[in-house]
């Protein structure tokens, strides 16, 4: 287990705010946005202890994504999508402290190379990029068909300088007996990537990105996934945590992910924040009450 504990600078918040205000204008300085100061003090959340799978649960505004971003910033994890920040965020993250776990021989772990935070925005951007590329390839196919006919049956390209190299290369390719028109188009334009449903594509994304022996922060990874796909993701995460040396820190309110085997869950909706079992959480109880109300329909 790479990350063992993470300490928030609750007792330093006033000093951090004071320093920032002075930086903004001396004794007359003020702060436009104090976030994330004050977010966790009323939850009495000072220190977080981690397991192979640790979950931050809570409603919108509870601070679960903020915790992930603080951890990612402090540990300098790789990330793609930007996050909501403020003038206080960098100094707040810098004031956080953490301890690493020990390996089987008693040596301190290091944060593995390739450790990263993955957000739902990363997945949506991936889907959008694939769709955009597919659209460009589709448009390019028509032009490539005309180009293939011109190169194969038109006049031979005269090589008069380096500027003619590419046209000559393409004509040689088009006139090869072993290269069909379809193969020519695929080699010059590319092939469209297979894009399934949003949920299937999201699951495929995790299958491609998650590597062995790595630490991951996952921000609401269930977004766009059906219950069936969420259960597939649960199976993947459990196997990678148990057999592949991965550690996961997850922000979610999905009952399927909350039931991840052996997960430690911090309920950020409670005051103070507490470690709870997944069946004790309000969100899970609401699902239970709904199906209990309609139990007769399932008989």
Phi-psi region of 230 (alpha: psi -120 to 50; beta: other; left: phi over 0): alpha
What integer pLDDT is reported at residue 160 of this predicted model? 64
**Nearest-angstrom CA–CA distance, 81 and 64:** 17
**Per-residue pLDDT at 156 exceeds 80:** no
Q: What is the pLDDT of residue 8?
A: 97
The pLDDT of 278-287, averaged and rounded, is 94
- Residue among 244, 261, 243, 185 nearest 210 (CA): 244
Token pair belonging to 38: 């004050």
Count of residues in the chain: 299
**Is the pLDDT at 103 greater than 70, yes or no?**
yes
DSSP state of 116: E
Class of CATH domain 3-119+212-298 = alpha beta
Q: pLDDT, tens digit, for every residue of 17-45?
A: 888 888 887 666 678 888 999 999 989 99
Instruction: Assess whether pLDDT exceeds 80 at residue 136.
Output: no
**Ranges 26-30, 110-114, 125-129: which has the least confidence:** 26-30
Range with the lowest mean pLDDT among 183-187, 267-271, 280-284, 289-293?
Answer: 183-187
Integer Cα distance of 82 and 84 in angstroms: 7
Q: Residue 47: beta bridge partners?
A: 7
Q: How much is the mean pLDDT over the chain?
A: 87
Higher pLDDT, 59 or 167: 59
pLDDT, tens digit (0-9, with 9 covering 90-100), for 240-270: 999 999 999 999 999 999 999 999 999 999 9
Euclidean distance between CA atoms 119 and 243, whole angstroms = 24
Confidence class of residue 143 from pLDDT cuts 50, 70 and 90? low
Where does 26-87 have alpha helices with state H? Answer: 64-75
The alpha carbon of 168 is separated from its chain's Cα centroid by a whole number of angstroms, namely: 44
Percent of the chain beyond pLDDT 90?
57
- Give the per-residue pLDDT at 129: 73
Mean pLDDT of 155-166: 70
Q: pLDDT at residue 234 above 70?
A: yes
* pLDDT tens-place string over residues 165-199: 777 677 777 777 777 777 777 767 665 556 567 78
Domain boundaries, given as residue ranges, for the chain: 3-119+212-298, 124-189
pLDDT for res 190: 65
What was the pLDDT predicted at 85? 82
Give the span between the Cα atoms of 196 and 177, in whole angstroms: 35
8 A C-beta contact, residue 248 and residue 149: no
Q: Examine the pLDDT at 119 and tell me if it is beyond 70.
A: yes
């Amino acid at each position: 287990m790479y990350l063992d504990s993470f300490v928030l600078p609750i007792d330093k918040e006033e000093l951090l705010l004071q320093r920032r205000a002075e930086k903004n204008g001396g004794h007359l300085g003020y702060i436009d946005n104090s976030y994330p100061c004050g977010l966790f003090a009323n939850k009495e959340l000072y220190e977080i202890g981690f397991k192979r799978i640790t979950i931050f649960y809570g409603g919108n505004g509870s601070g679960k994504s903020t915790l992930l971003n603080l951890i990612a910033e402090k540990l300098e994890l790789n990330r793609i999508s930007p996050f909501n920040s403020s003038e206080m965020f960098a100094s707040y993250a810098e004031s956080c402290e953490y301890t690493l776990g020990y390996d089987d021989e008693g040596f301190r772990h290091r944060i593995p190379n390739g450790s990263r935070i993955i957000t739902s925005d990363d997945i949506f951007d991936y889907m959008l990029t694939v769709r955009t590329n597919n659209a460009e390839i589709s448009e390019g196919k028509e032009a490539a068909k005309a180009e293939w006919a011109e190169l194969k049956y038109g006049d031979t390209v005269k090589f008069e300088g380096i500027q003619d190299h590419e046209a000559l290369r393409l004509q040689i390719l088009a006139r090869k007996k072993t290269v069909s028109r379809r193969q020519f188009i695929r080699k010059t334009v590319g092939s469209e990537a297979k894009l399934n449903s949003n949920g299937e594509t999201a699951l495929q994304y995790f299958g491609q990105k998650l590597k062995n022996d790595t630490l991951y922060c996952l921000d609401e990874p269930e977004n766009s996934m059906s219950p069936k796909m969420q259960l597939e993701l649960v199976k993947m995460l459990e196997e990678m945590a148990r057999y592949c040396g991965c550690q996961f820190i997850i922000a979610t309110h999905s009952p399927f992910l909350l039931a991840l085997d052996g997960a430690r869950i911090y309920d950020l909706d409670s005051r103070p924040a507490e470690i709870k079992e997944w069946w004790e959480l309000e969100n899970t109880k609401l699902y239970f009450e709904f199906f209990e109300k309609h139990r007769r329909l399932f008989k």
